[in-house]
């Protein structure tokens, strides 16, 4: 009896050891599989992080490009102003501007300017430029040098008048050029009382 029981216990021990061994063998692949899954999971995170860093570099580069563009524009503006100061000193400078205050009686096409009986400007306007003037813009038609003393400016305006008729009118101004710069304005406006456009040349104070 004792012998049979001892054999049973020994058999149970052997079977238990075998089960433990199998369990150990099964656990190892599971662990390996777990580590194999964990490794690819980390890779996408790194791959996702890479484009973010690249995007940051692109944004930084774009910012530098925009900064350089602004510096170039500022430099061009400064050079343009310096060139004007050199070419047209304040003591001899004269500038002529044009403005519109019309809506019904005149559609501007072109303007010609004569100073002291000499043509100095002849400008043909585009539709977009006329729209800008109608919104309150001011166009510098001419800038040049003029000696001190008395002078005459004559301006001729062409375009469409009332009832879409071709329209050409002139305006003049006698003025005196002093030591400082002189600014003149060609102003076109509607004259409601006469149902006609009005053209004036005036000095800026």
Residue 44 has pLDDT above 60, yes or no: no
Distance CA 60, CA 63 (A): 5
The listed CATH number (1.10.3470, 3.10.450, 2.60.40, 2.30.30) that belongs to domain 89-203: 2.60.40
Cα Rg of the chain (Å, integer):
44
Q: What's the pLDDT tens digit per position in 98-139?
A: 999 876 789 999 999 999 999 999 999 999 999 999 999 999
Centre a 10 Å sphere on the Cβ of residue 114 and count the other Cβ atoms it contains.
17
Q: What is the predicted pLDDT for the residue at 191?
A: 83
Q: What's the pLDDT tens digit per position in 48-74?
A: 445 545 566 777 888 888 888 888 888
Distance CA 53, CA 61 (A): 13
Q: What is the predicted pLDDT for the residue at 12?
A: 42
* Extents of the domains making up the chain: 1-87, 89-203
Look-up of token digits 């058999």: 11
Residue 47 has pLDDT above 70, yes or no: no
The larger pLDDT score, comparing residue 4 to residue 158, is at 158
Q: What is the predicted pLDDT for the residue at 94?
A: 95
Q: What pLDDT band is residue 79 in, cutting at 50, 70 and 90? A: confident
Comparing 74-83, 107-116, 166-175, 182-191, the range with the smallest average pLDDT is 74-83
123 contacts 163 by C-beta, under 8 angstroms: no
What mean pLDDT, rounded, does the chain reach?
A: 77
Q: What is the predicted pLDDT for the residue at 56?
A: 67
């Amino acid at each position: 009896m004792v012998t049979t029981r001892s054999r049973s216990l020994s058999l149970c021990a052997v079977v238990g050891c075998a089960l433990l061994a199998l369990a150990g063998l099964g656990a190892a692949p599971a662990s390996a599989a777990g580590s194999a899954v964990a490794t690819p999971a980390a890779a996408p995170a790194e791959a996702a992080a890479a484009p973010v860093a690249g995007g940051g570099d692109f944004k930084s580069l774009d910012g530098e490009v925009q900064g350089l563009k602004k510096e170039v524009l500022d430099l061009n503006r400064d050079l343009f102003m310096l060139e004007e100061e050199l070419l047209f000193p304040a003591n001899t400078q004269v500038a002529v501007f044009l403005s519109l205050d019309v809506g019904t009686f005149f559609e501007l096409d072109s303007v010609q300017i004569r100073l002291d009986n000499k043509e100095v400007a002849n400008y043909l306007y585009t539709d977009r430029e006329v729209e800008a003037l109608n919104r309150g813009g001011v166009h510098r038609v001419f800038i040049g040098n003029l000696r001190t003393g008395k002078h005459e400016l004559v301006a001729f305006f062409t375009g469409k008048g009332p009832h879409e008729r071709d329209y050409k009118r002139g305006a003049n101004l006698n003025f005196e050029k002093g030591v400082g710069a002189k600014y003149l304005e060609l102003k076109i406006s509607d004259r409601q009382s006469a149902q006609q456009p009005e053209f004036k040349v005036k000095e800026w104070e």
